[in-house]
Structure 1
Amino acid sequence: MSDFPYFMLRLVAGVSFLGHGLVRLPKLPAFSQWMTGRFASSMLPDALVTPFSYALPVAEFIIGVLLVLGLFSQMTIIAGFVVMLLLMLGTCLIENWEALPSQMLHALILIVLLQFIVSNSISLDNVLKK
């Protein structure tokens, strides 16, 4: 039972990533257009923003599914952290300070998950290694 809080925290992160990706995937072109518009006045060129805006929902969805399942957990947590770092950088570049605390909280949850990954017993990783 001591591993249950870890499982719950992994689900919190997973559902958040999954939900972000899930709602954006069906409207991918509109999401990309919105994101590109938000970065139009930033120092980032469209040549970087546009591909990222298409890749982000896919990455969020995949990371979310893998976190919920507890599959490839260590790599998935690191991938999620890299996504959060990129999002935080973009948020700073467009001075969207209101979004930064939420992104930092996501990153912090991922750091905690990685730190205590030995508690990842309620997972497909654990099932598959037996």
Structure 2
Amino acid sequence: MFVIHRYNMDIKWAYLLSRLAIGLSFFGHGLVRLPKLAGFSHWMVVQFSKSYLPDVWVIPFSYILPFAEFIVGLMIILGLFTRQGLLFAGVVSLALIFGTTIIENWEALPSQLIHVAFLSVLLAYLPHNSYAVDKIIKK
């Protein structure tokens, strides 16, 4: 019986570590970009200047992205509305993958795919999300 209990605890700790890792990645991406929003936007516009995406799409996205990364990262770290945070992070990741392929930045693609893999596993194992604000709210 002790072995089963320990196994269940280990799954919960593994879930927490994975959730914190992916949450910190999104949070950190947003956090470092927020203070230099205009510079980040300019960098993105330059990156997409030779693509077929018009600036009228790239500029708003470049200003929204850091806020989205910061918010979704915070949600995932805290375990607050975890399911919605993971899904929102997935949508952000898919948008980034689309942009990455449009500008043929193949070096960035593996990292983005790893993020999606983490998000997918966390969604699949959501019942193991025991150490989270969600659990406190549901009580």
**TM bracket (short chain):** over 0.9
Moved over 2 A (4+): none
| 1:11 aligned partner | 20
| 1:59 aligned partner | 68
Q: CA deviation at 1:88?
A: 0.3
| 1:25 aligned partner | 34
CA distance in 1, matches of 2:128, 2:22: 15
Considering only CA atoms, is the larger Rg found in Structure 1 or Structure 2? 2
One-letter amino acid matched to 2:100: T
Cα-to-partner distance string for 1:25-60 (whole Å, 9 max, x where unaligned): 000000000001100110100010000000000000
For structure 1, the residue ranges without an aligned partner over 5 or more in a row are none
CA RMSD of aligned residues (A): 0.5
User: Aligned ranges for residues 1-130 of structure 1 at < 5 Å?
Assistant: 1=9, 2-130=11-139
* TM-score, length basis structure 1: 0.99
Q: CA deviation at 1:105?
A: 0.1
CA distance in 2, matches of 1:86, 1:18: 17
Q: CA deviation at 1:94?
A: 0.2
CA distance in 2, matches of 1:54, 1:108: 26
Cα-to-partner distance string for 1:60-97 (whole Å, 9 max, x where unaligned): 00011111000000011000000000000000000000
One-letter amino acid matched to 1:49: V
Q: CA deviation at 1:120?
A: 0.6
Number of positions where the alignment pairs a residue of Structure 1 with one of Structure 2: 130
SS of aligned partner of 1:106? helix
CA distance in 1, matches of 2:49, 2:42: 10
SS of aligned partner of 1:15? helix
Q: CA deviation at 1:113?
A: 0.5
Identity of aligned residues (%): 52
SS of aligned partner of 1:122? coil
For structure 2, the residue ranges without an aligned partner over 5 or more in a row are 1-8
